[in-house]
């Protein structure tokens, strides 16, 4: 019963306007290539699949998606160890 009470505030903060970019890290478990979009999905209210769509779309519109992804891949810190 306690775990249900703990989950409600966490979910509310996730779907609110809480952009926690100071702690932004790559995702350890939601990654397709390097965990960049998964990390954005964990630390912003926008899901990881939508971040992936944005990067792929911007790849075909000028190629900036690839450049941004590579920069983030190098600059974002890795996920915290459990």
Q: What average pLDDT does this structure show over 16-23?
A: 64
As for how many domains the chain has, the answer is: 1
Secondary element (H or E) of residue 22: none
What is the Cα–Cα distance from 76 to 59, expressed in whole angstroms? 20
Which has the higher per-residue pLDDT, 23 or 61? 61
Q: What is the pLDDT of residue 17?
A: 60
pLDDT over 70 (residue 20): no
Who wins on pLDDT, 17 or 6?
A: 17
- Is 80 within a domain? no
51, two tokens? 């971040």
Average pLDDT of 12-35?
A: 70
Residue 50 lies in a domain: yes
The DSSP result for 69-81, as a single string, is HHHHHHHSPPPPP
**Residue of higher predicted confidence among 23 and 59:** 59
User: Which domain range does residue 14 map to?
Assistant: 2-75
The answer to whether position 65 is within a domain reads yes
């Amino acid at each position: 019963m306690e775990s249900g009470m703990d989950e409600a505030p966490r979910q509310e903060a996730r779907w609110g306007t809480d952009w926690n970019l100071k702690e932004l890290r790559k995702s350890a478990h939601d990654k397709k290539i390097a965990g960049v979009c998964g990390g954005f999905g964990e630390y912003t209210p926008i899901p990881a699949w939508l971040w992936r769509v944005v990067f792929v779309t911007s790849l075909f519109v000028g190629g900036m998606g690839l450049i941004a992804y590579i920069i983030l891949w190098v600059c974002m810190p890795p996920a915290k160890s459990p």
